[in-house]
Amino acid sequence: MDGGTLETFHVGPCGSSYEMGYLIGERFSNVIKCRVEKDLILQEQLLPFASTAEGHSLVEALERSNKERYPRYWGELVGTAGGSGVPLLHILLLNLRKEILPFVPKDELTKEPVVDDDCSDVLVVNDAMAIAVHNEDGNVALVDHTYLVKAVLPSGLSFTAYTYPGELPSCAFGFNSHGVAFTLNSVPPLNNEITAGGIGRNFVSRDLLEAYGIDDALHRIRKPNVSVGHCYNLIDIKGRRILNIETASNNRFSIHEVGEDPFFHANMYLHLKIDQIQDENSSSRQKRAAMLPADSQERALSLLGDTNHEKYPIFMTGPILHTLCTVLIDVDRAIVTIYKGNPKNGDVSNEIHIEY
């Protein structure tokens, strides 16, 4: 990956979920191996913890619950491991990191919560426009190591998903041929709000890629008993609607329908009442966004390109967190535009029509 146009890998229809995962893993074997090698959270926290009795027990519980509920997606993970030549345990830990990290013991020098991804969204639905604009922020190990997967399933449904190496499509954003699109924001529940061994967020978002419509998408978000919470920005291309859904363990959720006032969401719960980590990074971005206009596509992009705050800018350039890309989903035109670099500069990497 050279930082230019994101590669799109076309796959399917396949004879099995394993085959689909295998082909993705085989194509991106080098970047998956590179990500595994450079991912310090995987190497220094997840793998050592998985070798302990407590960690092994948790991974087994997560395997049971997610494999039972989503056997096809589990097959894709096993195939990704086989195709990439990366041990299955490493692939599982990448996909279930958010469900495992809260249980990793922290020594006295590392009491601060681990933050390896942050995202920001601007959502607007008014008479002039209906847009979702999203900064995909991730760990430095992911810079220039992401890709698009365009899959055609045996059912005839197709989806396009921004994909992290070694992970299920998509923990970031995607859309399908039924006119359902989404972006995602992580949220930080306190440990007392987390259920050990529950359903993983990556499996829920992979399932969203097969939703038949907004009601079906809501069902797929709300039904599983997730381990940790998440935030879904659900976009209905046909119905010209955008919903912000915040979830938590024990099937808790809250829905906010986006309207004419620009709605900014970073990485804190805004409307679901829950005990959460007070994240200064997210709070700073939330406060800064409230000061900036977002009444046009250009201003929304400019907001997500803001670097005013020296320590916690909305557009991130390191050293740990980087804005990997920015995506604009134009509901009225049914076009997804991906920007590389600061979106204020308008440097388009990919432009994709949503065919539904």
Mean pLDDT in residue range 157-166: 98
H/E run at residue 322:
strand 321-330
Q: pTM here? A: 0.95
Please report the pLDDT score of residue 320 as a whole number.
84
Q: What was the pLDDT predicted at 106?
A: 82
50-82, pLDDT tens digit by residue? 999 999 999 999 999 999 999 999 999 999 999
In this predicted model, what pLDDT tens digit does every residue of 170-188 receive, in sequence order?
A: 999 999 999 999 999 999 9
Q: How many C-beta atoms lie closer than 10 Å to residue 72's C-beta?
A: 15
CB atoms within 10 A of CB 132: 27
pLDDT digits (tens, 9 = 90+) for 200-254: 999 999 999 999 999 999 999 999 999 999 999 999 999 999 999 999 999 999 9
At residue 303, the pLDDT reads: 98
The pLDDT, as a whole number, for residue 2 is 40
| pLDDT given for residue 115 in this prediction | 57
Residues 248 and 189: beta-carbon distance below 8 Å = yes
**How would you classify the pairing of strands 230-236 and 180-185?**
antiparallel
Reported as half-sphere exposure (CB side, CA atoms, 13 A), residue 256 has a value of 21
Note the pLDDT tens digit of each residue in 115-159. Answer: 566 899 999 999 999 999 999 999 988 999 999 999 999 999 999
Average pLDDT, the chain: 95
Q: Are strands 8-11 and 147-152 parallel, antiparallel or unpaired?
A: parallel
Predicted confidence at residue 116, as pLDDT, reads 61
Residue 60 Cα distances to 87, 96, 166, 213, angstroms: 16, 12, 19, 33
Kindly report, residue by residue over 263-308, the tens digit of the pLDDT: 999 999 999 999 999 989 999 999 999 999 999 999 999 999 999 9
The whole-angstrom separation of Cα 199 and Cα 202 is: 9
- Going by pLDDT thresholds of 50, 70 and 90, the confidence category of residue 111 is very low
Query: Which of 215, 116, 217 is closest to 167 using CA atoms?
Result: 116
- Of 198, 161, 194, 155, nearest to 176 by C-alpha is 161
Q: Is the pLDDT of residue 108 over 70?
A: no
- On whether the CB atoms of residues 272 and 246 are closer than 8 A, the answer is yes
Place of tokens 């990366």: 86
